[in-house]
Amino acid sequence: MFPDFLPHSAVNLTEPTSIALLQGMTRVAIATPLWHSAIATTYVCQGSGGTPVLLLHGFDSSVLEFRRLLPLLAAHQETWVVDLLGFGFTERMPGIKFTPTDIKTHLYHFWQTLINQPVILVGASMGGAAAIDFTLTYPEVVEKLILIDSAGLTGGSPLSKLMFPPLDYLATEFLRNPKIRQSISRAAYKDKSFASEDARLCAALHLEMPNWNQALIAFTKSGGYKPFRFKKLQEITQPTRILWGDTDKILGTNDARRFKRAISHSDIFWIENCGHVPHLEQAQITADNILDFN
């Protein structure tokens, strides 16, 4: 029913969009300069026509984050979702440091191997910081940029202070705790009913993949995504749309306005009655705003 590289507990998912996304999941070997062998990279591609849309998920997340948004976009144009290096169901090679630069390098080679034409790049939360970093490094690849409740103006992770033995392992086990993950999930939504059992399983499934702890420790030790300076953000010349939940309790709402001031060719659309994850809580409105930006 599901690809054989997924954990067996995937059979416990119940939401049709969750099941459909996993059934459409593919793994491809991506050659990069990061490792002597190709990296098995997980992605989903649906739809056809138009400029390809490439979706980047948030911290300690996976392609499942876009289970509700993907089919809405794919009904109108080619849409890709990829598990970033060190996250989701993409292979975690033990010798890689999983720095933001490594993530960017891997993403570029994924794009070059499978897409190889300019894209509309969409990043949610930490995926927004990854999208900004990628756009600044490979501007020729990105036709337009969309940031959904994006990280990038505050940096690092509070867990970085704990990332030394044995606290590094304990810190990741803390994040693995179902009650902790459920608390984080509830904080991400305005409507707490979205923090369902299916949502909990979606957010935790990738934790069962090999080397999850080691990759998360390595990424956090690297410092993660540092805050982008105002002058650096001014280098973004692509048309940029900022989508933001009007009751985001994870990042607040001030950063939306700061991004708008820093990025010249940008606009803001507030997603009403919505928390940190509009693509899950208000998927249709989010999709409409992305498609309208084409």
* Structure tokens given for 41: 């990279």
* 270 strand-pairing partners: 244
Which stretch of DSSP H or E encloses residue 281?
A: helix 278-281
Q: Which residue is associated with the tokens 């803390």?
A: 174
Distance CA 26, CA 41 (A): 8
User: Is 222 within a domain?
Assistant: yes
CA distances from 90 to 5, 8, 193, 199 (A): 10, 16, 30, 20
Q: What is the pLDDT of residue 155?
A: 64
Measure the CA angle with vertex 212, ends 209 and 213; round to 5°: 145
pLDDT digits (tens, 9 = 90+) for 200-219: 999 999 999 999 999 998 89
User: Is 96 within a domain?
Assistant: yes
> Which of 27, 232, 8, 253 shows the shortest CA–CA distance to 129?
232
* Structure tokens given for 5: 């590289």
Domain that holds residue 102: 8-292
Number of domains in the chain: 1
Q: What is the pLDDT of residue 222?
A: 87
Phi, psi of 4 (to 5 degrees): -75, -10
Give the CATH number, domain containing residue 229: 3.40.50.1820
User: Is 131 within a domain?
Assistant: yes
> Which of 4, 126, 7, 140 shows the shortest CA–CA distance to 55?
126
User: Is 3 within a domain?
Assistant: no
CB 119 within 8 A of CB 54: yes
User: Is 87 within a domain?
Assistant: yes
User: Is 1 within a domain?
Assistant: no
* Structure tokens given for 245: 């939940």
Taking the C-alpha atoms of 132, 134, 136 and 141 in order, what is their torsion angle to the nearest 10 degrees? Answer: -120
Distance CA 25, CA 9 (A): 16
User: Is 105 within a domain?
Assistant: yes
Q: Is the dihedral of CA 276, 277, 281, 287 positive or negative?
A: positive
Q: What is the pLDDT of residue 161?
A: 47
User: Is 2 within a domain?
Assistant: no
Q: What are the mean pLDDT values of the chain's consecutive 10-residue runs (294 residues total)?
A: 93 97 97 96 98 97 98 98 98 94 98 98 97 98 98 69 50 72 87 94 95 90 91 97 96 96 97 97 98 91
Distance CA 290, CA 122 (A): 9
Measure the CA angle with vertex 256, ends 234 and 191; round to 5°: 155
Q: What is the pTM of this model?
A: 0.94
Q: Where are the alpha helices (DSSP H) in 75-224?
A: 100-110, 126-137, 167-176, 178-188, 197-204, 212-221
